[in-house]
Each structure stands twice: as structure tokens, then as C-alpha cells.
Amino acid sequence: MLSTRGAFIEKVRGRDGRIIGLNLLPPQHTSPIPDPRRFVSGYEVTMPQGDKIILKPEDVCWIRRPHPLDPYLSLTPMESAGVAIEIENLAKVYNRNYLLNDGRPGGILVVKGEIDDDDKDELRNRFRGNLTRVGSTTVISADDGVDYVDTSANPRDAAYVQMRQIQKEEILAAFGVPESVIGNASGRTFSNAAEEHRVFWNETMLPHLDLLGRALDELDEVNYVDFDTSNVPILILYKQERSRYHLDEFNAGLLSANEYRASTGIKTVKSDLADSLLMNPNLTPIANTEKEMEQAAQGAMPGMPPGAPGMPGMPGMPGMPPEGAGAPGVEVGPDGSMASPLDPNTMAGSLAAAQGAPGGAAPETGMAPPPGAVASAEPFGEIETKQENLELERWKEILGRSFERVIERQQRVTMEKVNGMKSKKALAAGTLDIESIFSVETWNKQMEEDIRPVLATIIQDSQETSKKSLNKVDVLSQIDSHIAKFKQVNTDTHEQLVSSYMASLPVPNEDNRSTVFRASCVGIFTNLLAKTRYELSETEARRAWGFAS
């Protein structure tokens, strides 16, 4: 594929005309024969003996990258990086010759006065450097003196190292290969190196493999050639990331179960519920992606058939009275009204009389009131519903994740600074400034940017749920009180780091002192992630939700 003409594959056919083998033809000895009608009328192959044979177009598979100027050529990375490759090669040759010359730059030896040709050759041989004359000293004498003129540059003046680095980057870019892929991940974070690997596979390898596979489709009318990339680690991570995104869409009710299964490569199932969009928190069907949903009956759940088993109070359920019947022990007339009160001589009637039920009505039980009757109950005031509990738990989790990301960033930045050479030297000298590794002001700004919007949204959501109107000044004051709690965590962390630093100073050995201080820092952030995050996020989320409810 690096040839300017591409790759030529000969199809070896058996007696029945079927393909029984493939031969890779030498690209330097194979060339297409242009044809104004058929584009290619054949392929000319030069044999090692000098003979030329012509192959039919249907017997050769030609794989190439499109060329913008010549349709019979292939555009390769070697062509786009040709100048960079040539400069790289010349720089290596120059450095090699410089070392062979005993590290001496080229120049002109000017001898004042007249000398013959034999003396010139002798001087030239003496000053010609090679590996056998390393470190040798030559003494010459001249009546009028000798001058030396330097006419070349040494590798340092020619910026040999910088030039090679630039050429390497240009060549790798032409081939679409990031530097971390070839093993040099210096100067990059783990995230940047992983992203370079993903770009390499998505932008370089997959299109290259697809080009090869589609070119070989003509080998068989039914089967096709493909490459198995399911075990590539970076593509597995990318697939898992996409699956998590589709799972969030499914949990939000934007995708059906079958749509989620199809997007993640799982076989779909034949079920109306699997084709329905499910609304949280009770996963109630609200729509169907395959057909129009029937209108829900009065009192039934949306998307469920009327009279579905398990629905309380639905006629026709096992153990429930038939439609039009009254409560047990009460006779109902044809028009649905009670025919007669309970007999006081029966147990039900005597109980009703003992409880003072008007008209000998049935005593209060856990059964639902009969159709047409209205149950009376005393108001209970404000009751926290299941929906509110679910919303509160959701906001607890969101606030906890936001707070966790801030703590993780604090830990990563702080530990990188603690492990840095500057901090190690300051720790060894006893002059380490904790503010240089953990700035309270900087992390307070980070809290403002990450936590304040979440708290404002919690209060707004609670306000919409309770349908109460709040004063903006009161809301801002409430959010400030929450932010103060989170900022206090930064202050406490700074004080703990100071205490850990002071506790590590008595340790005699510098390496041991650095190890003790690093271990203390790890313990501080571990406690933040394992305990403080949960306690503070739960408390502040509940306070923010209860402020507007």
C-alpha cells in the first residue's frame, strides 16, 4: 500500500473458474493498461527474466488510495511526507560523516607562501579525520604562518536534535500515527495518551482496514472480508462509553428497551413493553415506538390494558366483587342503591351498631368504598410522597458526584505537586509552603463553578414541585450558606495538610520524610472521598430541597 501504484493481487483460478488462491504481484513491476472505455484493459507484469505478460482485469484485484491528479496512481503517506523523510535521511548522513571525520568540521587550511603539490597532499592527508586518527596531533611549520577557515557548522549549530524531533512529528502525522502509539508517551497525561490511541484506531486503522476489506468484496458474491477489532482495548472502552450514554437515555425515557439493545449490539425481543418508552420513576409506559398505544381506561395505568390483573379496585379481579355489587354484607338494588341496612342480629350489624355507624352502615374496614360512595377522611396535612423521596435521592446522587469530581481533581493536582522535584527539595529543606500545593482560594473558585449551579437547580426543582414562590434574595442567601459549607472543606483540608507537613519534619531521612508526607496526603483525600463526600452532599441536598418545600 506504500507503492505509488497501490497493491496488485492476482486471483488464481482452478479448472472450474473458481478462485483457489491469491498471489501478491510486485508493484514495481506491475502497471495498469489504461483504456478509454473500460478504464483498465489489463495489467502488464514484467517477469524477472524480462518477459512481459498481460493479465485480464477480472483476474487482478487492485487496491489503492485515490490520487487527486492521476486516477492510475495511489496517494501514499510517503508522498506527502517525502521532503521530511529526505531531510531526516540527510541529517543522519551528515551526523555520521561528522563523527567519521573525528568530530572535526570541514574547513580550509590557508598556508601563507608557496608550497608544491606534494606538500598540499601531505597536509590534506594529515587533516583528514577518520576513526583511526581520533585524538591525533599534527605539527606543521611554515615561514609565513598558517590560517584555518571553518566552512561548516557542527551538529549543535545546525540544531540537529530539534530538527530530528520536528521531522519525526511531521512523518508520524503524515502516516496518522500519534507518538504515544509507538511507545513515547512522555509529556502527556493518561487521558491524552488514551485519546491519541482512540484517534489512531478511529481515524487511521479502521479506514485502512475498511479499504482493504471492501476491495476484496469481489472475491465472493455471498461472503465478504472483514477484520475483527472487538478485542482492541481502546475500542472496547469507547464502546462501553457509548453504552453508558445509551443507558442514560434509556433511564431518562428517551429510548425503548429494544432501541437500547440494538444500539449496544444485543438482540432485540418481541414485546410491546420492550418497544415502549418507560417514564421514571415507576417505569410507566408513555408511548410505543412500533405502534400507536391504546388510550388508558379511567383509573388504569397508562400503557396497560384495562382491567389488568394486580390493579387495585379494578372490576373482574380475583377476590373483588362483580361490577355493580356493593360491599360484602350489603344488598344492592338494581339501580345500585342499598336495599336494606344490615341486620343488627348478625355480627356485622352488631359491630356497626356498636361503632355508631349511621343507619347501620357497614363498619370501617380496609376495603375500598363501593362505587358511587365517597370516603371521608380527616386531612393529614403535608405528606412527603414517594415521588419527592425519589427526586431528593436523585439530587443527592448528582450533588455527590459533582463534589466527588472536585475532590478527585484536588487529589490529582495536589499529589502531582507533592511528587514534583520542587516540592521534594522544599520538603527536604523544611521550607515547603502548603499554599503552593493546595491553594484554598483556587479551590473555592472551583467550588463556586461546580457546586453552585447544582444547588441552584435543586432549589428550583423543589420550588416547582411544591409550587411555591420564593424571593430571589432569600434563594441567593440560601445558596451562599450551602457554598460556605463546601468551602469550609477546603479550609479544613488545608489545615490537615499543614498538620501533616509539620508532623513529617522530625523524620530524619529525606526520602522517609517525603514518603510519610505523601502517605498523609493520600489518607486525607481518601477520607474526603469515603466519608466527607457522602455526609456533606446528603446534608446539603436535603437542606436545599427542604428550603422550597
- State yes or no: pLDDT of 310 exceeds 50: no
> What digits encode the pLDDT tens for the residues 419-466?
888 888 888 888 999 999 999 999 999 999 999 999 988 888 888 888
Q: Inform me whether the pLDDT recorded for 105 exceeds 70.
A: no
The CA-based angle 43-47-53, given to 5 degrees, is 40
Residue 21 reports pLDDT greater than 80: yes
Q: Are the C-beta atoms of residues 401 and 467 closer than 8 Å to each other?
A: no
Higher pLDDT among residues 426 and 153, named by residue: 426
Query: Which of 7-16, 270-279, 367-376 is the least confident region?
Result: 367-376
Exposed/middle/buried for 232, CB within 10 Å: 0-12, 13-18, 19+? Answer: middle
Strand partners, 33: 42
Burial of 363 (0-12, 13-18, 19+ CB in 10 A): middle
Amino acid at 467: K
Q: What is the pLDDT of residue 365?
A: 46
b/e per residue 79-112 (b: at least 16 CB within 10 A): eebeebeebbeebeeeeeebeebbeeeeeeeebe
* Structure confidence at residue 410 (pLDDT): 92
Indicate the Cα dihedral angle 13, 15, 18, 19, nearest 10°.
-20
Number of CB atoms found within 10 A of residue 405's CB: 12
Helix (H, G, I), strand (E, B) or coil at 306: coil
Instruction: Tell me what pLDDT residue 104 has.
Output: 61
Q: Is the pLDDT of residue 415 over 80?
A: yes
The rounded distance, in Å, linking the Cα atoms of 124 and 133 is 13
Residue 374's pLDDT is 44
What is the Cα–Cα distance from 425 to 422, expressed in whole angstroms? Answer: 5
Q: Give the Cα separation of 407 and 401 in Å (integer).
A: 10
Residue 150 pairs in a beta bridge with 107
Q: How confident is the model at residue 318 (pLDDT cuts 50, 70, 90)?
A: very low
Question: How many other C-beta atoms lie within 10 A of the C-beta of residue 27?
Answer: 17
| Mean pLDDT for the chain overall | 78
Percentage of residues of the chain with pLDDT beyond 70: 74
Q: Does 347 have pLDDT greater than 60?
A: no
Count helices and strands in the chain by DSSP H and E runs: 16, 12
What does the alpha-carbon distance between residue 368 and residue 326 come to, in Å, rounded to a whole number? 10
Residue 372, pLDDT > 50, answer: no
Query: Sorting pLDDT into bands at 50, 70 and 90, what band is 490?
Result: very high
What digits encode the pLDDT tens for the residues 219-231? 888 888 889 988 8
| Domain segments of the chain as ranges | 7-75, 80-131+140-160, 386-548
The residue with cell 463556586 is: 448
- Give the closest residue to 297 by CA, choosing from 274, 321, 323, 277: 323
What is the three-class DSSP state of 340?
Answer: strand
Which amino acid is present at 493?
Answer: T
DSSP letter assigned to residue 105:
P
pLDDT band at 281 (very low <50, low <70, confident <90, very high): low
Taking a C-beta distance cutoff of 8 angstroms, is the pair 536, 486 a contact? yes
Indicate the pairing of strand 146-150 with strand 19-25: unpaired
The residue to which cell 343507619 is assigned: 359
Question: What pTM did the predictor assign?
Answer: 0.43
For the segment 183-205, what is each residue's pLDDT rounded down to a tens digit?
888 888 888 888 888 899 988 99
pLDDT value at position 311? 45
Q: In this structure, are strands 19-25 and 7-13 parallel, antiparallel, or unpaired?
A: antiparallel
